[in-house]
Amino acid sequence: MYSQKQDYLSSNPLLIQAANNAVKKRIELEKFDACLMARRAGLAPDDWQADLLRSNARQLLLLCSRQSGKSTCSSILAIHQAIYKPDSLILLLSPSLRQSQELFRKLQDFYNALESANLPQAVEESSLRMELSNGSRIIALPGKESTIRGFSGVSLLIIDEASRVEDALYQSVRPMLAVSGGRIVLLSTPFGKRGFFHSEWMDGQDWQKVKITADQCPRIDKDWLERERAMIGDWWFSQEYQCEFVETNDSFFNYADIHSAISGEVKPLMFT
């Protein structure tokens, strides 16, 4: 009986048209609100993520704890721009190609979760690059000055783990963005009082700056955090979870361990 009713509903052309119109209407609204798109892809943004997804700022600076959701949020920003601003060129950078690829994978997952015939389709797709039928391109790259030099007309540049990306890269992308009028998003945990991420956070003008410590993240358990502090010590804890630009640590082995954990391209230090 129930399935007969279902069959009737799903074969009724008026109902099908009404459902299609509702999807179209929602997609039109999503153009102006990336949070709606995020929800359709299965993600309920935290308040700070929602603010960022609705922001019009051309320059965003996110100083956030590990696991707070900064990569997730920026991957939504990127796929939203690709879908709703035709012909966008979006570059994803981070200290290593592996990390950029991870960010790209998050973005692909969101795009796949949206699965709608009413959205621009992927006409070319690999593990590092996606081109949509509206002319938008998203490309994941390692954060090296030499890899970015060949690009122009960049509409959105996302630099993940920006505190660990070389200054030369940043110097070369600034003029590029000035010419294209593109958007830039820098996101990172801190990494000492050095480099462009630190100086922009301290003195940069015209940035929308957001700081999210681990205790502000609803998914990070307070007891787990205390155990983590006991395990890694106050110095690392204040950098990785409390977003402090702490002075260089004198614990050399810790530095190497954590840095190699963060960048797959850093070889472990060996002593013979």
Ligand X SMILES: Nc1ncnc2c1ncn2[C@@H]1O[C@H](COP(=O)(O)OP(=O)(O)O)[C@@H](O)[C@H]1O
- Contact between 39 and ligand X by CB under 6 A: the answer reads no
Whichever of 81 and 189 has its CB closer to Mg ion, that residue is 189
- Contact between 46 and ligand X by CB under 6 A: the answer reads yes
Whichever of 47 and 250 has its CB closer to ligand X, that residue is 47
DSSP per-residue letters across 111-145? HHHH--TTSPPEEEE-SSEEEETTS-EEEEEES-H
Whichever of 180 and 208 has its CB closer to ligand X, that residue is 208
49 binds, among ligand X, Mg ion, none (CB under 5 to 8 A by kind): ligand X
Beta-carbon contacts of residue 40 (< 8 Å; ≥ 6 apart):
26, 30, 113, 114
Beta bridge partners of 130: 125, 138
Interstrand relation of 129-132 and 89-94 (parallel, antiparallel or unpaired) = unpaired
182 binds, among Mg ion, ligand X, none (CB under 5 to 8 A by kind): none
- Contact between 263 and ligand X by CB under 6 A: the answer reads no
Q: Which of these ranges, 3-11, 64-72, 232-240, 259-267, lies near ligand X under the rule CB under 6 A?
A: 64-72
Residue 271: exposure state from Cβ atoms within 10 A (0-12, 13-18, ≥19): exposed
Residue 40: exposure state from Cβ atoms within 10 A (0-12, 13-18, ≥19): middle
- Contact between 67 and ligand X by CB under 6 A: the answer reads yes
- Contact between 45 and ligand X by CB under 6 A: the answer reads yes
5 binds, among ligand X, Mg ion, none (CB under 5 to 8 A by kind): none
- Judged by CB under 6 A, the chain residues 68 through 107 that form the site for ligand X are 68-72
- Contact between 60 and ligand X by CB under 6 A: the answer reads no
Nearest-approach distance from CB 95 to Mg ion, in angstroms: 11
User: Which of left, alpha, beta for 134 (phi over 0: left; psi -120 to 50: alpha)?
Assistant: alpha
- Judged by CB under 6 A, the chain residues 206 through 245 that form the site for ligand X are 219
* Sites of contact with ligand X (CB under 6 A): 43-46, 49, 64, 66-72, 219
